Amino acid sequence: MEKTPRLLEPTPDWTPEERPTLPGSPAAIAHPLPKKLIYFFIGLFIAISGSLSNGFITANLPLIQGEYALTPAEGALIPAAYVMANISSNLLLFKARQQYGLRLFSEIGLVLFIFVLVLHIFVHNFHMALLVRIISGWVAAPLSSLGMYYIMQAFKRENFGRGLYLALGFQQLGIPVAWIISPYIVNVNDWTVLYTFELGLALCCLAMVVSVKLPRSMRIEVFEKQDFFTFLLLAPGFALLCIVLTQGPILWWFQEKWLGYALIAGFSLIVIGLTYEHFRVNPLIITRWLGSSTMLKFIFGALTIRILMSEQSYAAVNFLKAMGMGPDQFVTFYMVIALGIVSGTIFSALTFKRERAVLHLIGAVVLILIACALDYHLTSDVRPENFYRSQFLVGFASGMFIGPLLLTGMIRALQKGPTHMVTFVVLFSATQSFGGLVGNSFFSTYQKIRTQNYSVEIISDLPRTDPTVEQRIATYQKSAGKYTLDQSLEQNQAVRNLNQVVTREAQVRAYKDVIALNGIFAIVLFIWGVFNMLWNKYQLKKQQQMINSS
């Protein structure tokens, strides 16, 4: 039998309009306009800063690998460490917010992050870099909630949904903003600039949180000892899955035995953790609700739409990198993406209505499908400016889908009761984090297989006796003759140049296949989404007719 949580402090004399929706959420106080603007600015700054730290790593990962002399597999662990910690943090965040207050949790995390960053400025090594990313991922979870609540304080209670949409949309700006500003702040010969900039952001966030506080909330006693046992099972399980998903395409899935053992261990820990939760009286994660048809549909939709976003994060960006584009050439490209995210976020906020949430989600899928159609006609001559239209659409979809997705799940959780919110927060975080990892891992694997197949196919169509091939090799040999007088070296260099062209063209075809496959996924999700929407309308209409007839 579930016990009623005990209040940890007297409840202020709130009006019904001011009372928090849930324990741990700030009260909905009517602030004057200047203070609303201050809350909005602080929320916007915190929301972007929370994701900017991970964005810096994503934008500068090749340079970081060079700085620490890392292999690609070791380098991939740095962003993976952020995701591991972020998912684990969400396991305890909601209850920590209810029992201790979100601001205290955030301040402790920020102070710890600042301490580690200061230490990292003086200690430059791979293990310290991993520790910084772990702490950064841990702090990013409360910062996301903190930014959301600060932004929502700028809105009236009836417009909280608009504030929610804006907060979640602006959180998507971390990676594009990092790509835009990185070339201007990162110096290859002085890496302390990057960490100093991160340190400055963390100090600013801490100063804002301490100076302008959120309204009070109800604090209740919700933690149980069993919660930490569940955390000790699920957190390493999630971490092992993150490692497998990031290392699999690099080390190759069937080449390293430890990947299989890690996958087995990760799934085992998660299954044991969820089984333990299933038989608890007051579970942290309500497994019976997770297994319902409604939530299984939500999990499928949330995972799939995040995988579709890989059209941008994997296909477009990595294709341009494969064609030789460097960080400086991505600045305008990511400005277009950032503009798309802002536009999509504002559009979803302005058109906000609870019943329109599903339409926003379906609209985001349609935009991704259009972007795939625009990007399908790839050639080796494509440059960032050729992607502007399609990536604006994907950015628009990214800003438009995240708010409605969260709102749809929150409504379902609140209908079941406040105890279901922890389950939903963990589920939402896991689907978005793992959806991104699964998308990148799957498409990376698929792209490498298709590149190998196309390379063999192209080479088989290039017999050395073909006059066109002989002419191409002769041209390359003539170019190599400028640097050496050795004919054998000229011949070898000419063959290498030809192989490079073959690999490049194979990659172009492979990335076209990736985009085409993503487009197929988008079509399937669109049909599935429309079918579910129409089916739900039919069911509601049928229920209404039965009520009227009775």
- The pTM of the full predicted model, rounded to 2 decimals, is 0.85
Residue 339 corresponds to which tokens in the numbers above? 């503009």
Residue 252 one-letter amino acid: W
Q: Of 125-129, 362-366, 412-416, where does the model show the most confidence?
A: 362-366
Residue 143 corresponds to which tokens in the numbers above? 């910062």
In this predicted structure, what is the pLDDT of residue 121?
Answer: 73
Q: How far is CA 542 from CA 294, 406, 528, 546, 550, in A?
A: 18, 28, 21, 6, 12
Q: What is the average pLDDT across 447-454? A: 88
Helix (H, G, I), strand (E, B) or coil at 29: coil
Helix (H, G, I), strand (E, B) or coil at 190: strand
Between 471 and 422, the more confident residue is: 422
- pLDDT for 1 beyond 50: no
Q: What's the pLDDT tens digit per position in 297-313?
A: 888 888 888 888 877 77
Distance of alpha carbon 472 from alpha carbon 310, whole angstroms:
36
- pLDDT for 80 beyond 50: yes
Distance of alpha carbon 267 from alpha carbon 242, whole angstroms:
11
Beta-carbon contacts of 211 under 8 Å, excluding residues fewer than 6 positions away, are none
10 DSSP assignment: P
Q: How far apart are the first and last CA of the chain?
A: 36
User: 130 and 77 in contact (C-beta within 8 Å)?
Assistant: yes
Q: What are phi and psi of 190, to 5 degrees?
A: -145, 85
Shortest CA distance to 237 belongs to which of 274, 270, 275? Answer: 270
Q: What's the pLDDT tens digit per position in 33-43?
A: 888 899 888 88
CATH fold of the domain at 17-223: Growth Hormone; Chain: A; (1.20.1250)
**Residue found by looking up tokens 């993406």 in the block:** 337
Q: What is the average pLDDT across 100-123? A: 75
Q: What's the pLDDT tens digit per position in 195-246?
A: 788 888 888 888 888 888 888 777 777 778 888 888 889 889 988 998 998 8
User: 101 and 222 in contact (C-beta within 8 Å)?
Assistant: no
Q: Mean pLDDT score of the chain, rounded to an integer? A: 81
In this predicted structure, what is the pLDDT of residue 49?
Answer: 83
Q: How many CB atoms lie within 10 A of CB 523?
A: 13
Q: How far is CA 160 from CA 12, 148, 256, 349, 404, in A?
A: 21, 10, 49, 10, 13
Q: What is the average pLDDT across 262-289? A: 87
User: 346 and 398 in contact (C-beta within 8 Å)?
Assistant: no
Between 183 and 418, the more confident residue is: 183
- pLDDT for 490 beyond 80: no
Tell how strand 6-7 and strand 220-221 pair up: antiparallel
Residue 543 one-letter amino acid: Q
Which range, of 42-46, 93-97, 342-346, 524-528, averages the lowest pLDDT? 93-97
**Residue found by looking up tokens 């004919």 in the block:** 487
Residue 352 corresponds to which tokens in the numbers above? 């906000």
Q: Domains of the chain: which residue ranges?
A: 17-223
Distance of alpha carbon 509 from alpha carbon 379, whole angstroms:
8
Distance of alpha carbon 365 from alpha carbon 484, whole angstroms:
55
Helix (H, G, I), strand (E, B) or coil at 352: coil
- pLDDT for 486 beyond 60: no
In this predicted structure, what is the pLDDT of residue 339?
Answer: 92
CA 34 to chain centre: 33
Q: What's the pLDDT tens digit per position in 374-386?
A: 888 878 788 888 8
Residue 283 corresponds to which tokens in the numbers above? 């579970």
User: 259 and 248 in contact (C-beta within 8 Å)?
Assistant: yes
